[in-house]
Amino acid sequence: MTDFSNIDYLNNGNEKQILAFEVLTQNKILFYLSEFEPVLVGTIPINIDIENSDLDIICYWKNKTSFTEKLKTIFGNKNDFEIRETLIDNEETIIANFKIDNFEIEVFGQNIPTMNQNGYKHMLIEYKILKTKDENFRLEIIKLKQNGYKTEPAFAFLLGLKGNPYVELLHYDCAF
């Protein structure tokens, strides 16, 4: 199984994955975030991205203020930089968005270890599902996404899951 805690796998991937690797390494994005245990999640790592897919980086902060200040210091001068605070699943969340070299980047931070965050869990489950399905399944996910579906609802639709797709996917057993 791919080790998603290290982005080296991207350098052996498709064209977009290689470009993502270059942007992340040349701009030292994960290096600057290293104290927050950053992990790249989402669709690009598992090859179900579409044209406008962004680079989603999840982080684990212990001090919300220092995390916010670090994001502003490191990325505040980047194109289209925005930062906001919100509640997601009743968890305080800091989200920063900006652009570097034609990539939209989202840094998502919670006071939850990255490997325990839903973004990471969803990606792992989706990766395992993709490994058990054929190429047509992957292409159908991409087609649904191109037609406006978010990733988890696209998986839930093709798998016939009922209810909240974000919750149901966490409970999906893909026989691994």
| pLDDT interval class at 174 (50, 70, 90) | low
What are the pLDDT digits (tens) for 102-146? Answer: 899 999 999 999 999 999 999 999 999 999 999 999 999 999 999
What's the average model confidence in pLDDT over 141-152? 96
**3-state secondary structure string across the chain:** CCCCCCHHHHHHCCHHHHHHHHHHHHCCHHHHCHHHCCEEECCCCCCCCCCCCCEEEEEECCCHHHHHHHHHHHHCCCEEEEEEEEEECCEEEEEEEEEECCEEEEEEEECCCHHHCHHHHHHHHHHHHHHHCCHHHHHHHHHHHHCCCCHHHHHHHHHCCCCCHHHHHHCCCCCC
pLDDT digit string, tens, across residues 18-35: 999 999 999 999 999 999
Considering the four listed CATH numbers 3.30.460.10, 3.20.20.70, 3.40.640.10, 1.10.3720.10, the one that applies to the domain covering 8-171 is 3.30.460.10
pLDDT tens per residue, range 38-75? 999 999 999 999 998 999 999 999 999 999 999 999 99
In this prediction, residue 25 carries a pLDDT of 97
